[in-house]
Homo-oligomer: A and B are copies of this chain.
């Protein structure tokens, strides 16, 4: 009974399935966003700003699970295309809050609809009860990993 534990069958490994499903979702999102001229990272920023305006570069980086440096480049791309706007000078600290432009809101509307269709397709085999149960269990797994142990990503906890 003091057997050494190891990872079992990959076909039913939660870790492997998580990676597979997340990869499939990313690919599907990329497929519908690219025709709209957006990458998944860029869409993530627009979506985050749509839910909570006036976020700083660091805020957005944490929300999208990347570093401030990477987010900076994503924001530059969106800014050059006029989809987001940043204050030229910081109001308070060094943070220069970013907000959606009208063009950005319009792009977000189209992209969000497309992504919603992808999510709907992903969840189509699940009943409403199964859907909510899945959400609850993903939250439980995420919290079990992050409550103590390792950081979630980005560089906020390094």
Which listed residue, B14, B19, B112, B118, touches A123 by the CB 8 Å rule?
B14
- How far, in angstroms, from A9 to B51 measured CA to CA in the complex? 8
Interface centre among A19, A139, A151 (most CB of B within 10 A): A19
Tell me the count of chain A residues lying within 8 A, CB to CB, of chain B: 65
Interface centre among A115, A116, A123, A142 (most CB of B within 10 A): A142
Q: Is A24 a contact partner of B122 (Cβ separation < 8 A)? A: no
Whether a CB of chain B sits under 8 angstroms from the CB of A90 is: no
Q: Is B5 a contact partner of A117 (Cβ separation < 8 A)? A: yes
Q: Is A15 a contact partner of B119 (Cβ separation < 8 A)? A: yes
- How far, in angstroms, from A7 to B30 measured CA to CA in the complex? 16
Whether a CB of chain B sits under 8 angstroms from the CB of A145 is: yes
- How far, in angstroms, from A150 to B30 measured CA to CA in the complex? 9
Interface centre among A9, A21, A115 (most CB of B within 10 A): A21
A18: chain B residues at CB < 8 Å are 18, 21-22, 25, 138
**How far in angstroms is the closest Cβ of chain B from A136?**
9
Q: Is A4 a contact partner of B113 (Cβ separation < 8 A)? A: yes
A143: chain B residues at CB < 8 Å are 125
Q: Is B125 a contact partner of A140 (Cβ separation < 8 A)? A: yes
Which listed residue, B27, B124, B140, touches A153 by the CB 8 Å rule?
B27
Q: Is B6 a contact partner of A142 (Cβ separation < 8 A)? A: no
Q: Is B125 a contact partner of A141 (Cβ separation < 8 A)? A: yes
Top 3 nearest A-B pairs (CB, nearest first) are: A31-B150, A6-B112, A28-B150
